[in-house]
Structure 1
Amino acid sequence: MRSESRRTSSASAALCRCWLLLLLIFAPVASLAGCGGCSQQTPAQQAAERKARELKEIEEAKKRLEEERKSKPFIVGHLTPLLSENLIEAEAGVSLRLAKPGHWATTVQPMKANLGDFEGRITVAAVDARGNPLPIPHTSYEMTSSRPAVLAKGISKRVENELLVPSAVEKLNVSSELINAGGSIADAPATEAWTLMPSHQYFLMVLAREPTRYAFLKVTDSVQAPYEDINGTELPHYRVVLADGNKPLPLPPNVLTWTSVAYVVWDEVNLDQLDPSQREALVDWIHWGGRLIINGPDSLDALRGSFLKEYLPADAGERTTFDLQSLEEFSTGWGARANGKPTAAISVTRPWSGVELQPRPGAKALPFADKLFYERSVGAGSIVVSAVQLAERDLVNWPGFDGFLNGALLRRPPREFSVEEGGAWTGLQTRWAGARDRVRDAHFTTPLRWFARDAATKANARNVSGPVDSSANAQFTYPMNAQFAETRLEVDRAGGLGDWDEFGPVATAGRDSLVEAAGVRVPAASFVLICLAIYLVVLVPLNWMVFYALGRVEWAWISAPLIALVGTLAVVRQAQLDIGFVRSQTEIAVMELQGDLPRGHLTRFTAIYSSLSDTYDLEFENSSAVASPFPRDDRWNPAIGDVLSTVAFEKYDQPRLRGVEVSSATTQMIHSEQMLPLDGPIRLSSQSNNPRLLQVDNKSGFDLTDVAIVFRDGSTAVEPAASDSAAEAQRKSWSKLKGFWIGDLASGDGRLLQKLETLSVAEGELPFAEERAAANELTSRKPLNVDPLLRLAFWFPQLDDPIHGARDEYRLIGRINKVLPGSVVSPSASQSTGSTVVIAHLRLGEAAAAEPDRNSPRDVQPAGQKNAYEEEPPTEDPPAEEQEQ
C-alpha cells in the first residue's frame, strides 16, 4: 500500500511538473495573443488607444502650463505691429511682426494681471543688442513710447501703443516693459525681433466677412511681382492681410500710422467693429491718396447710410445677372495686349450674380467696364465699387484678371514681362512700361502722398555693382570674368513714400526757415542809438513840455527817475527779444488740406530756446499727434562718452512728448504732426449757371495772407531730365503754371477768381514775389521768412510720379502768421512767434487713364515653365484653349 501510495504521489508530482512546464511555455504566447484572444485589439484600436493617451498627456500638459501661468503675476503676450497681426508665421504660429522703417506704427500687446488689479504703464522702444533704446540720429536724444496699462484681475486686455520705427537699422529689436505706478519694473522686460519691410513694399488690407475668399490675391503677379534679382530673391509688392470683417479690425485709430497701407478691400464689413477714430482715420487716409475697393453686391446697401455715404461712386439698384454677352467688351478690352497675344476670353460657366449700379455725380466707369465698375475721386484718393463679386471664380480664373487687377482695381501703370537670356537674371522679370530701371520704386506701389513727407522726393531702390569694399557688409556675386566685384542695394529712402524723413525736402526747408527765425541776434549799433535818442527826447524836451503846459515845471524832476526806469525796462525787454535772455518758442509749420475735408495735416517744426537749462514737455490737443526730436543738421553726432537724454512719447489723456532737455543758451527742435480739425474747408466752387466762374471760400476759421491760386494743367507735365538740377526742374514746371493773386482772405470770406495768367518768374525769385513784397510793406510787423517752404509749395508732381503726375489741379497757397493751436509747450515761453504755410488742394482732376499690360507672362514663357533655365515642357500640342492663353 505504501509503495502504491508513493507511486501515486510521484505520478501526481510529475503531472504537476508537466502542467507547470506547459504553463511556462505557453504563458508568454497567451499574453502576446491578448490572453488567448479574449481581449484582442485590432491595429486601428491600438492606434486609437495611443492617440487617446497622447491627447490626455497634452491636456495634462496644458493644465500644468495654465496653472503655471496663473501663478505668475502677469501674462504678457508678443508685442506686434497692429497692421501685421493677422499675418501668421506658419511654423511658429505667431504674427510675422512686419513694419516699415521710418514709419510710425501702432503696436498691440495682449496682457493680463493674475494676482490683482494693476495700474501702471507699458513702455516700448527700438533697442540695440544690449537692450538700450536706439539713439535718434544726429541728436542727443533717445526715445521711448509709453501708454497706460490698467488691468482688471483675470481679464485679458489688448494695449495699443505708437512707435517710430527707425530707418537707419538693418535688424530691428523692440522691447516692452511693464512698469507699475511707482516707476519700478512690474514684469520681466521682453524683446521681440521685428522684420523690416523693403522700401517699395506696402500692406494690402482685406476686410471681409469671408476673408479666405480673397486668399487668391497673395499669388497674383500684381502682388508677388515676379522679379528675380542678382541675389536670387523676389520681394513682393504687397503683404496681403486677410481680416475677418465681423471681428475687431486690425486698423489703427490714427491715420498717421496708416502710411504703410496702400489699398483696402471692403466686403460686408460689420460697421459696428469700427470705432469713431478708425472711421475718421479711414476717411483721412482716402483723402490723402488711399484707394478703397468695395465689393458692391454685398456691401453697398449697408454703406448707404454710413460714414462713407457721401463718398461712394454709386448706389446699388436691383439684383441682376451678367452673362457672356454683357462681359464681352470688358473681356476684349482688358484682355488686349499691345506687345503680345490677347488673353483668352472670359469663360462664364453660369451667369454672374450682381447688382445694377446707379452712378453718382462725379463717378466714372472704369475703361471697358461700363455698368461693371465705377470709381470716384475723393481728395487725392479714390473709391471703386463693383457690380459683380470681386471673388467671382470665373473672373479670378480668367487669364486677363491679373492685368485688370493691376491696371484698374489698383490703378497702377501697365507692366512689361520678359525673360532675359544669357544675363544675370534668369527668371520671369516684371518691369513697369517705360520705367525699366524703377522696378522697386514706391511711387508705383502706393497711391498715398503726404506733402510734408513726400514732396519732391525719390523713392527707388536699385542694385549697384562696383569695386569690392572689404569693410562694407555687402553681398557678393561672381560675374563671368575673373574680376571679383560687389553688388549692393542702393535705396533712396529706407521707408519709401510716407517715410518720417528728417532730411527730406520739406523737412530741410522747414529747418532752414526755423534756424533763421529762431537764431540769436546781437543788437546792432543802430538799435542802441535809436533807443538812446528816444530816451533823451522823452526824458528832456517832451518831459519838460508836458509839465510846462501844466504849470508844474518842478514836477519834471520828480518824473525823470520814473521815465529812466520805464526806458530801461523797455530797452532790456527789446534786447531780450533780440538776444534771447528769456524762454522763446518759434514755430514754422505746413498745413495741407484735401478737397472739402474739414481737417488738415499739420506739420510743425518747433524751436525751443532757454537762457537757462530746463526740461520741456509738449502736449497736443488731438489724439492723432506724433512727435520726436528734430536734428539741427546732418553733421552733428554724439562724441564717445556722451550721455543721451531720454524723451518719452506718451499717449495718456492727450499725446505728449515729455522730457526734452534744453541746455543753457541752446536751441532744441521738435518735429510733430497731427490732424487739425478746422471750422470748415477751404472750398473751390462754381455757380450752376456758369461753371467757368470759380469762387474760393475760406471756412477754415483762420485768416489767410499772401494767398495765391495756382492751376496746373496735367497735360503739360514733363519728365524731368536726369541732368536737371532741382531748381532747374522747378523753373521748367513753373513756366507751365497759371495763377491769380488774392492777397488777404479772412475766415468767412470768399473771392471770385478772375482770369488766371501764365506765371512769369524771374530767376532766383518765387512766383508772385512782387505782390508778396508789396503786401508785406503794409504790415506793421515783418512776417517770418518761409521762402524755402513756399518754393516747395509751388511744386507739383511731374510724370516721374506715375499715379499723380498727370493730374490737373487747382491749388491755394497762402500763410497764417501765427502759431496754430493744438500744441502747448511747458514751461511756457515768454515770447512765441510762428508762421504756417497753407497748401490746399482745392480740386484734382482725374488720374491717368487705366491701361492693360503691354504683354503677358505667357508671351515670354512656355506654359508651365517658371524660369528660363528650366527644361521646356513636352512638345505635344496642348489643347486649343491653352494655346490661345
Structure 2
Amino acid sequence: MLRVRLILLLLCLPLVVGCEGCRQDVAPPEQDKEEEPLQEFSSKPALSYPADSNLGGNGIKPGHWMTAAQTLKSNKADARGELLTQSSVVKSDDLGGGGITNQQDGIQSLRPIVLPKGQQRRFDVRLLTPKPSSIEQRKLYLSSRFVSAGRSTSFDTGRQPFNVMIGQEYFFVILTNRPERFAAFQVADWVKPLRGQYEFQTAKPNYRVVMPNTENVLAIPETMLDLSSTAVVLWDNLGPESLTPQQMTALSDWVRFGGHLIVNGADASDAISKTQIGDLLPLIPTSNIELDPDAAVEMLTNWQVKTDRTTKAKIESIRSQTGRIAVDGKLVDGAEAVPNSGNLIVQRRIGLGRVVQPRFDVTGDWLQDWDSYNSFVNSVLLMRPRREMIESRDPDAESMFSQLYADYGTTASDAAFNTHFRLTARDAVLAVSKDGKSLAVKQTHAMDPYTFSSPVTGIGAWTDDSDAVSLCQEILREESGIEIPDSSLVVRSLGYYLLLLVPINYLFFRLIGKLEYAWLAVPFIAIGGAIWVARAARLDIGFARSQTELAILELQPEYQRGHLSRVIAIYNSLSSTYDFDFKTYDAAAMPMIDSRSSDDSIEGCTFKTSFGEGPTLSGISVGSNRIRLVHCEQMIDLGGAITRNQNELLNGTKQELYDAFVLTKSPTGELQIASVGMVPAQSSAALKFDSSSEVSVSDELPMQAARLIKRLASPVIMPPGSSRLVARIDNTMSDLTITPAANQTAAQTIVLAHLEHAPLPIPQPDVNLLSDFRRVQTGQPSTNDDE
C-alpha cells in the first residue's frame, strides 16, 4: 500500500511542479494605482446666450448687454458664495508670450450661488461686453471666479474665448429639435455673401445661425435688453412649454421693438397659439389641411428668380405628389397675406417688428434644390434687399463674382439690412439744429436714414454717445447741482429770527416775571433758528445731495410695456458711494465716463443680480462737490397703452401726460400736428389737426424739457406714413431706488409713443443667380429670358 502511494506521488509531481510554474509565469496583480486627489470644484466652459448646441459656433457681439452661463460643481462639500464674471477684449498682438498690454475689461457681474455637494448647476449672469475701438485683431473672453462665503475658498474657471461678431452681424436663432433640417441655412448666401474664388475668405457674415440645445432650459435671454444682438427668431417644432414665462415676455417685447419672428408651419403655429405670445400670430390655427398644389405653384412662379430654370421641375413635382401639410385658420386684424404668395404666407406688423407665418414647413422636400430658395428666404421671410450677382473680369485671372445690393449700389452689407430692432434712445438720428432755426437729419443709411449704425457694434448697442443720451447729458450738466436758496428765503428767515429773538422773547419772560432769563434764551433761539434755516433750504448742515434726472419713455402701438432710458446726475457736497436698486429683472445700468475727468471710472462698480427683485448697480463713487452721471434702462409696465382712434387719443396708462402733441406724416410727406396739452391718466382727448410745420412748445418748461420735445417731435426725423405722440411726465418712474437718498430731486420724463409705423417695404426676388454665370462658363445657353 505504501508502495502504491509513493508511485502515485511520483506521477503527480510533474503536474504539481508545472502548476507551480504556471503560477510563477502569471504576474501578480498590480497594486491599485494611487488615485489623483479629487478637485474641490470643477466647471464646464462658459456659454454666451443665445448659445448654439455646438459650442464652437458661439459668439459675442461687443457693446451689447448679454446673458451668459457658467456651470459649476462642488465635489467635496456643500458650498455657498458668490460668482464673479467679467468680459474682456484683448488685442490679438498681445496674445503672444510677451504678456497682455492692451486689454479692455468690462464691469464685473456678481450673483450669489449655492452648490450642493456633487450636483452640477448652471448659473445665468448678465453683463455688458466692452466696446473695442475696432474689431480687427481682437479677441473677446469671459472669465468667472467663485468665492465662498467668508472668502476662505476661491475657484477660477479660467478665460473662455469667444468669436467676436462684427457690426453688421446678428444672431439668427432657430428653436428646433431637428437641426439637420436647417443645415442649408448655415451656408446660405444671405448668411454669408458669396464671393469669387479669390474673394470668398473676405466675405463678412450677416448672421450667426444658432440652434440652442433643447434638452434643458433654452439658452436664450430672459429680457429684451439682452436680445439687442438678435435679429431673427425662427420657431420650428418646439412645444409650448419650451420657453420660460420670462423668455416669453422678452420675445414679446423684442418683437414690438423690431424683432423678426418666423413661425414655421403647423407645429410652430399650434405651439405658439397655446402660449402667452399667441397674440403675436397673424393666423390663429384651427386645423391642418392638405397643401394646395395650385397655391404652391403660384408662390413658386411669382417668387422665382427670373433666370431660374429649376422651377419647372419643382412645379411638376408638386403636382405629382400629394399629402403635404398646411395650416388652416383665421387671419387676425392687421394681418395680411404676403403679395403673390398664393395666400400661403401671412404676415403681421407688431409694433416695429414683423411676424411672418408660412402655412407650410419651409424645410419641406418640395422646396429643396430650388435655385431660388435663398432668394425666397432673403426677400419673403427676412425682407432683406434684393441682390444681384455681378462678374468682374481680370485679364490675368479667372472670373470673380460679387453680390451687389441692386437698389443701393453697394456690395457691402449693413446692419440696417440685417436687423430691424431699434431703440430711440440708442439709435435714433435726431434733428440737428443749424443756425438756431432750421433742422436737418444726419444721413447714415440709404435704407434707413433715421437710424445711426456703428461700424463696430452695429445697431441696438448700449451707448452713451447717441443723439438722445448726449442731449440729456448736456442738459443735466447745466441743470444738476445744489439749489441755492433765493433772497426771499433769507429775508423771511431773518425777519422770523428777529421777531422771535426780540419782541416775543421779551414779552414771554416779562409775562412770567423772569425778564432776566431772556438773555439766557438767546443762544437756544439762535441754534434753533440755524436748524430751521438749514431744513428750509433742504440742506443738512454742510452735507447735501441732489439727484436730477432726464428720461425718454418709448412706447409701441397698442402695447402697455415700454422702454425707459434714464440719464441721472448725482451731486454730492462730500464724497459718497451710491447703489442703484431696480424692482424688476428687465433693467440695466452703467456709470457714464466723462473723458474730461480723471476721477470717472468703472473701478469698484459691480452689477449684481439675483439678490432681490431686480439687479443692483453698486459702488458708484461720487467725489466731493462732483457730478456723476449714470445711464439706466429698463422695461416697465404702464398698466395700459396709448392709442389713437381716428381723431381721439386714448391714454390708457397710469401716468398723466403734459404738453402732448400728436404728429402724423402721410406716405407722401404731408405733416399734420394736433396740440393736445394735458391728458389725464385713463382718459381720452379729442384731436384737432392743422397743417403746422413744427410743434410750438414753451421754452419755460422745467429742466429744458422743451429741447427734447422739439427734437423728438421734429418732422424731419419721422418716416412717411407714421404717427407719434410726444409729451412729458412731470416726475420720475418709481421702479428705481437710489441709496443714499438725495435731499433735492428733480425729474422729467419725455414720452415718445409710436401710434403708427410706416408700412412694410414690398419684398422683391433677387435679380439673378450665380448659377447663371456657371452655365455660361460651361458652354450652356444663357438663362436670361430677355435675350
Match of 1:57 in 2: none
1:600 is aligned with what amino acid? G
2:640 aligned with 1:680: yes
Separation of aligned partners in 1, 2:65 and 2:731: 28
Match of 1:511 in 2: 473
Match of 1:729 in 2: none
Separation of aligned partners in 2, 1:177 and 1:394: 51
Match of 1:164 in 2: 128
- Say if 1:347 and 1:398, in contact at 8 Å, map to a contact too: no
Match of 1:212 in 2: 180
2:660 aligned with 1:707: yes
Match of 1:221 in 2: 189
- What TM-score do the two structures reach when normalised by structure 2? 0.82
Match of 1:821 in 2: 734
2:10 aligned with 1:76: no
Separation of aligned partners in 2, 1:708 and 1:104: 33
Q: Alpha-carbon deviation of 1:618?
A: 0.9
Match of 1:835 in 2: 748
Change (3 A) 1:80 1:713: same
Separation of aligned partners in 2, 1:381 and 1:76: 39
Alignment deviations for residues 526-584 of structure 1 (CA, whole Å, 9 cap, x no partner) = x34x445445665679999999999x999999999999777655654566679994022
Separation of aligned partners in 2, 1:660 and 1:132: 27
- Say if 2:543 and 2:573, in contact at 8 Å, map to a contact too: yes
Separation of aligned partners in 1, 2:249 and 2:462: 22
- Say if 1:251 and 1:278, in contact at 8 Å, map to a contact too: yes
Q: Alpha-carbon deviation of 1:302?
A: 3.1
- Say if 1:224 and 1:238, in contact at 8 Å, map to a contact too: yes
Q: How does 1:456-471 map to 2 (within 5 A)?
A: 456=429
- Say if 1:290 and 1:381, in contact at 8 Å, map to a contact too: yes
1:712 is aligned with what amino acid? K
Separation of aligned partners in 2, 1:643 and 1:740: 45
Match of 1:427 in 2: 400
Match of 1:783 in 2: 702
Match of 2:622 in 1: 662
Change (3 A) 1:846 1:568: same
Separation of aligned partners in 2, 1:759 and 1:240: 47
Change (3 A) 1:191 1:451: same
Q: Alpha-carbon deviation of 1:835?
A: 1.1
2:142 aligned with 1:174: yes
2:221 aligned with 1:252: yes
Change (3 A) 1:270 1:797: farther
1:746 is aligned with what amino acid? P
More divergent stretch after superposition (535-544 vs 409-418): 535-544
Match of 2:464 in 1: 502
Q: Alpha-carbon deviation of 1:260?
A: 0.8
Q: How does 1:276-287 map to 2 (within 5 A)?
A: 276-287=245-256
Separation of aligned partners in 2, 1:607 and 1:749: 33
Match of 2:577 in 1: 615
Change (3 A) 1:156 1:438: same
1:143 is aligned with what amino acid? I
Change (3 A) 1:439 1:554: farther
Match of 2:417 in 1: 444
Give the one of 636, 644, 647 matched to 1:694: 647
Separation of aligned partners in 2, 1:509 and 1:258: 26
Q: Alpha-carbon deviation of 1:273?
A: 2.2
- What TM-score do the two structures reach when normalised by structure 1? 0.73
Q: Alpha-carbon deviation of 1:597?
A: 2.0
Equivalent residue of 1:222, what SS? coil
Separation of aligned partners in 1, 2:160 and 2:253: 31
Separation of aligned partners in 1, 2:252 and 2:230: 13
Change (3 A) 1:643 1:273: closer
Give the one of 682, 700, 710 matched to 1:748: 682
- Say if 2:563 and 2:636, in contact at 8 Å, map to a contact too: yes
2:201 aligned with 1:237: no
2:770 aligned with 1:857: yes
Equivalent residue of 2:297, what SS? helix
Match of 2:671 in 1: 737
Match of 1:143 in 2: 107
1:840 is aligned with what amino acid? A
Separation of aligned partners in 1, 2:625 and 2:228: 37
Match of 1:759 in 2: 692
Separation of aligned partners in 2, 1:643 and 1:361: 51
Match of 2:696 in 1: 768
- Say if 2:144 and 2:156, in contact at 8 Å, map to a contact too: no
Alignment deviations for residues 582-609 of structure 1 (CA, whole Å, 9 cap, x no partner) = 0221111111111222211111111111
- Say if 1:695 and 1:753, in contact at 8 Å, map to a contact too: yes
Change (3 A) 1:233 1:256: same
Equivalent residue of 1:398, what SS? coil
- Percent identity, aligned pairs only, is 28
- Say if 2:393 and 2:400, in contact at 8 Å, map to a contact too: no
Give the one of 123, 145, 154 matched to 1:186: 154
What RMSD, in angstroms, separates the aligned Cα atoms of the two structures? Answer: 3.9
- Say if 1:493 and 1:499, in contact at 8 Å, map to a contact too: no
2:170 aligned with 1:202: yes
Q: Alpha-carbon deviation of 1:828?
A: 1.5
2:663 is aligned with what amino acid? V
Match of 2:360 in 1: 388
Match of 2:349 in 1: 377
Separation of aligned partners in 1, 2:315 and 2:213: 30
2:68 is aligned with what amino acid? T
Alignment deviations for residues 660-694 of structure 1 (CA, whole Å, 9 cap, x no partner) = 1111111211111111122222222x3xxxxxx43
Change (3 A) 1:598 1:417: same
Separation of aligned partners in 2, 1:255 and 1:120: 28
Change (3 A) 1:220 1:410: same
Equivalent residue of 2:472, what SS? helix
Q: Alpha-carbon deviation of 1:416?
A: 2.5
2:326 aligned with 1:354: yes
Q: How does 1:105-124 map to 2 (within 5 A)?
A: 105-124=66-85
Match of 2:22 in 1: none
2:609 aligned with 1:651: yes
- Say if 1:335 and 1:343, in contact at 8 Å, map to a contact too: no
Q: Alpha-carbon deviation of 1:109?
A: 1.5
More divergent stretch after superposition (619-628 vs 807-816): 807-816
Separation of aligned partners in 2, 1:356 and 1:64: 67
Give the one of 82, 99, 103 matched to 2:64: 103
Number of equivalences: 714
- Say if 2:482 and 2:546, in contact at 8 Å, map to a contact too: no
Separation of aligned partners in 1, 2:193 and 2:527: 76
- Say if 2:641 and 2:651, in contact at 8 Å, map to a contact too: yes
Q: Alpha-carbon deviation of 1:158?
A: 0.9
1:704 is aligned with what amino acid? L
Match of 1:155 in 2: 119
Change (3 A) 1:294 1:624: same
Q: How does 1:194-593 map to 2 (within 5 A)?
A: 194-227=162-195, 232-243=201-212, 245=214, 247-322=216-291, 324-335=293-304, 337=306, 344-345=311-312, 346-349=314-317, 350-351=321-322, 352-422=324-394, 427-437=400-410, 439-456=412-429, 492-519=454-481, 527-528=486-487, 530-535=488-493, 568-569=530-531, 572-573=534-535, 581-593=543-555
Q: Alpha-carbon deviation of 1:506?
A: 1.7
- Say if 2:181 and 2:363, in contact at 8 Å, map to a contact too: yes
Change (3 A) 1:561 1:175: same
Separation of aligned partners in 2, 1:282 and 1:582: 43
- Say if 2:553 and 2:564, in contact at 8 Å, map to a contact too: yes
- Say if 1:601 and 1:676, in contact at 8 Å, map to a contact too: yes
Point out where structure 1 has 5 or more consecutive residues left out of the alignment: 1-62, 89-93, 137-141, 463-489, 687-692, 717-735, 762-766, 777-781, 799-804, 864-871
Alignment deviations for residues 734-764 of structure 1 (CA, whole Å, 9 cap, x no partner) = xx4321111111212211222x222333xxx
1:334 is aligned with what amino acid? W
Larger radius of gyration: 1
Separation of aligned partners in 2, 1:626 and 1:824: 13
Change (3 A) 1:443 1:122: same
Match of 2:725 in 1: 812
Q: Alpha-carbon deviation of 1:786?
A: 2.9
Equivalent residue of 2:725, what SS? strand
